[in-house]
Chain A
């Protein structure tokens, strides 16, 4: 997925408008499965690839703290969106939301369906309704010059 997007951009098959989100401070969340767990399982964690893609889509974005290997889980992984243990899941997400608040971000970019669903689902619990949650490929699609 990351490789494919990078290939399209590198080969010039898609052109991106970097100014589209000039006024929105974005940040990036590393999903456990693409990052920490991929590194452990397959010997390669996707830390730098998504960040490179973000650099192609916007001039300005900030990393969360901590990030990459030390990233906090969103709380929506492992099927927890579907177990029905919702109070626990929302509480779990507090660390994540505090981290996003601390970064001052107005947009969170994620390349994972579970993270996307979780953050969108819990933002109202933490008075962060204005936070825009975007798939990484959605960001790329939004920036397409067609």
Chain B
């Protein structure tokens, strides 16, 4: 972020540039409470107060290119202490949304893109997904007390539909078992959809509202298709 030490041409400033944003960034009184509360303050020179000021001044290119909005975790500690109730996490998310999608750091956009195309972040084919679920289900059935356990897939009219976090069918399959064991013990009538089961919704992180809506809409579609009224979405 060396650029903030550089001279900024006055004609680059534009107070009105982000005036349509509903985050109250122009109300900032520069008290610095947000910066004191923020666990990321000081990392890479980051400081939420500075970011608020940059948005308020309309420094569009600078905030879009900055790494700061991607280091912030949108934890909302700053907002919680801000006397002017400025929605800093919301502002950070909107800044992220302004980046060219190909320049979104790491695997965030790639994962989301895969999810939009294939229904899950891993592009895991349906047969493989079902194989993993059934395999883990058999492991549970082998444990004392869980005899006869089976994973109900696409069960119409079940009481609860659950989504799955992609890491649980990737590197952490043992973590699928906890909820399933609880369901077994509670004699719950539950199910997992075989398509569009992805529980994460990375549009939340990349500032992509359209993608979030698509991902959420698919879950609702699954519920309607299978005639299920309750959703467990622990991601």
Which residues of A approach B to under 8 Å, CB–CB? 1, 4-5, 8, 13-15, 32, 36-37, 40, 69-70, 72-73, 75-80, 82-85, 88-89, 91-92, 95-96, 111, 113, 117, 135, 137-138, 140-142, 144, 146
Expressed in whole angstroms, the Cα–Cα distance for A111 and B105 within the complex equals 26
In the complex, the answer to whether B177 meets A141 with C-beta atoms within 8 Å is: yes
In the complex, the answer to whether B179 meets A32 with C-beta atoms within 8 Å is: no
Expressed in whole angstroms, the Cα–Cα distance for A103 and B179 within the complex equals 28
In the complex, the answer to whether A84 meets B185 with C-beta atoms within 8 Å is: no
Top 6 closest pairs, chain A to chain B, by CB: A79-B205, A146-B145, A73-B75, A77-B73, A84-B106, A78-B74
In the complex, the answer to whether A13 meets B73 with C-beta atoms within 8 Å is: no
Expressed in whole angstroms, the Cα–Cα distance for A96 and B167 within the complex equals 23
In the complex, the answer to whether B75 meets A13 with C-beta atoms within 8 Å is: no
Contact partners of B89 in chain A: CB under 8 A: 37, 78
Contact partners of A79 in chain B: CB under 8 A: 70, 106, 108, 202, 204-206
B126-167 CB mask vs A (1 if < 8 Å, else 0) is 000000000000000000111000000000000010000101
Q: Categorize the interface residue count of chain B.
A: 35 or more
Expressed in whole angstroms, the Cα–Cα distance for A72 and B70 within the complex equals 18
B53-79 at interface with A (beta carbon < 8 Å): 67, 70-77, 79
Question: A76 and B106 in contact (CB under 8 A), knowing A13-B187, A82-B111?
Answer: no
In the complex, the answer to whether B39 meets A73 with C-beta atoms within 8 Å is: yes
Contact partners of B144 in chain A: CB under 8 A: 146
**Which chain A residue lies CB-closest to B202?**
A79
**Which chain B residue lies CB-closest to A76?**
B73
